[in-house]
Amino acid sequence: LGKHDFAGKKILVTAGPTREYLDPIRFLTNRSTGTMGYSLAKAAACRGAAVHLVTGPTCLADPLGIKITKVESAREMQAAVEEIFPEMDIVIKTAAVADYRPKITANQKIKKKDGDLSLSLARNPDILLELGRKKKHQILVGFAAETESLLEYAQEKMIAKNLDLIVANNIKEEGAGFGTTTNIVTIITKEGQMHRLPQMTKIDTAHAILDHLRMLAE
Ligand code: C5P
């Protein structure tokens, strides 16, 4: 690409799923592979940004030239993100953060017994919502993965979380969402403009998102 239009910008990207442990060996998680977040981190670094990637567990190789903090649970992600946040110019929250965690994480492996087992779940903190309350100069970008009423839910989230831009993707659409190499997204700005992008590789999608961000970061 060769353009350095993010030179001097500090960008925090979160990626991947979180793991919410029931006991030392079992956890609740989701199908996120981290590909979209890693693509954004790489694309931003390629365009000159100083990138810090905070990621849940993935099978992806550590990208070169990018600072990386590895976490497991939503609460670990929150602690890492909040520490880095004040110095950042742009925050892109691609991570698929678990909304709930087991109320109790057992210290020992849970033994099976006869009959059913019920799990009690506690709400996790909404990291992006907290950042939206605290933000000063930062540009905040969220992702909305939905299976229905995509654009309405995405817009509601953008307002509720005080975001500048939200990237909506219908994870049921073929060629989009979790575990695919391509994505089909609609970029929605605070001003209510909507741009539906065609099916593209996640790295091309990342560059298209950065093109929109570039205009906001002027
Ligand atoms: O889960 P939800 O659809 O509300 O996610 C929208 C955005 O909020 C995403 O960018 C996601 O990374 C972020 N989020 C978060 N902490 C949560 C849940 C979601 O930062 N606990």
Domains present along the chain, CATH in parentheses: 10-108+120-216 (3.40.50.10300)
Q: State in Å: Cα 100 to ligand 1 middle.
A: 12
Is the distance from CB of 162 to CB of 186 less than 8 angstroms?
no
Per the residue annotation, which of 30, 124, 162, 183 is the catalytic one? Answer: 30
Is the distance from CB of 22 to CB of 28 less than 8 angstroms?
yes
pLDDT digits (tens, 9 = 90+) for 124-183: 999 999 999 999 999 999 999 999 999 999 999 999 999 999 999 988 999 999 999 999
pLDDT for 2 equals: 61
Q: State in Å: Cα 97 to ligand 1 middle.
A: 6
Nearest Cα to 170, choosing from 201, 197, 210? Answer: 197
* Structure token pair of residue 115: 């009959």
Asked if residue 43 has its Cβ within 6 Å of ligand 1, the reply is no
The Cα–Cα gap between 112 and 149 comes to 40
| Overall pTM > 0.90 | yes
- The whole-chain average pLDDT of the chain stands at 96
Ramachandran area for residue 70 (φ above 0: left; ψ -120 to 50: alpha; else beta): beta
Is the ipTM, as predicted for this complex, more than 0.85? yes
* Res. 218: pLDDT tops 80: no
The Cα–Cα gap between 150 and 44 comes to 26
